Chain A
Amino acid sequence: AQSVTQPDIHITVSEGASLELRCNYSYGATPYLFWYVQSPGQGLQLLLKYFSGDTLVQGIKGFEAEFKRSQSSFNLRKPSVHWSDAAEYFCAVGAYNQGGKLIFGQGTELSVKP
């Protein structure tokens, strides 16, 4: 069965510092991987997605993620964090034979120190 693990429940970084949010997945075949962001009281917004091809994926708001099959990881990175990046981040996995179903990790809450 598919599963997603986000080991860090809460991360605090200083504004301007770099960021890496971890995501590990479990799936037998090549997964479809996603990162979403949720601001308080809002729905989820897609940051980026990986289906195949280049393992380094660029997304919106300056985010990128790297797919590493050997480590079953899809970590999200940003070189310089802005205060507006404070939110909850969710990694998710989908499968080709399961329509629109996504399995989400538990989420990582990001706080940004001024």
Chain B
Amino acid sequence: KAGVTQTPRYLIKTRGQQVTLSCSPISGHRSVSWYQQTPGQGLQFLFEYFSETQRNKGNFPGRFSGRQFSNSRSEMNVSTLELGDSALYLCASSLAGQTSTDTQYFGPGTRLTVL
């Protein structure tokens, strides 16, 4: 079974631009979560989508948004990029997003650099 894939793997943008990152979950998984990883703040939860609905949201500004499609693929968008948005963005998928019963599988991440 193919793992979680994320595209692109690397991205360079300039301040003020917007960016869209994509995540394809493992086949059959309906929950996709997004995390931001930086040296200073570590791994922080952005949001979770389940069956095309946002189910949980972390403490990030509205510039960060996401969506999930009917095939469970998910995208996250960051508008008006700031230097501090430079990070590794990880997505994780699981069957139903219940941490009590499911295992979350992480993708390799997208490395975003904002200049």
Question: Per-position contact with B for A77-100: 1 when CB-CB < 8 Å, else 0?
Answer: 000000000000010101110111
Contact status A100-B4, CB under 8 Å: no
Known: A43-B106, A44-B106, A104-B44. 5 other contacts (CB 8 A): A36-B106, A42-B108, A96-B99, A99-B97, A100-B102
Complex contact A103–B103 (CB within 8 A): no
| B98 proximal to A (CB < 8 A) | yes
- Cβ–Cβ < 8 Å partners of B105 in chain A: 46
| A43-B108, A106-B42, A107-B42 known; A100 vs B103 contact (CB < 8 Å) | no
Asked if B43 CB lies within 8 Å of chain A CBs, one says yes
Asked if A45 and B106 make an inter-chain contact with CB atoms under 8 angstroms apart, the answer reads yes
Q: Which residues of A contact B50 (CB under 8 A)?
A: 99-100
Q: Which of A36, A43, A46, A105 contacts B109 (CB 8 A)?
A: A43
17 A-B residue pairings within 8 Å (CB atoms): A32-B99, A32-B100, A43-B106, A45-B106, A46-B105, A49-B103, A51-B101, A99-B48, A99-B56, A100-B99, A102-B35, A102-B99, A102-B104, A103-B45, A104-B35, A104-B42, A107-B42
- Which residues of B have CB within 8 Å of A51? 100-101
The 8 Å CB contact of A100, one of B33, B44, B107, B108, is B33
Query: Could you tell me if A100 and B106 are in contact, using CB atoms closer than 8 angstroms?
Result: no
Residue count of chain A within 8 Å CB distance of chain B: 26
CB contacts (< 8 Å) of A94 on chain B: these are 99-100
Residues 46-68 of chain A, each 1 if its beta carbon lies under 8 Å from chain B, else 0: 10010100000000000000000
Q: A100-B48, A102-B99 in contact; A43/B94 too (CB < 8 A)?
A: no
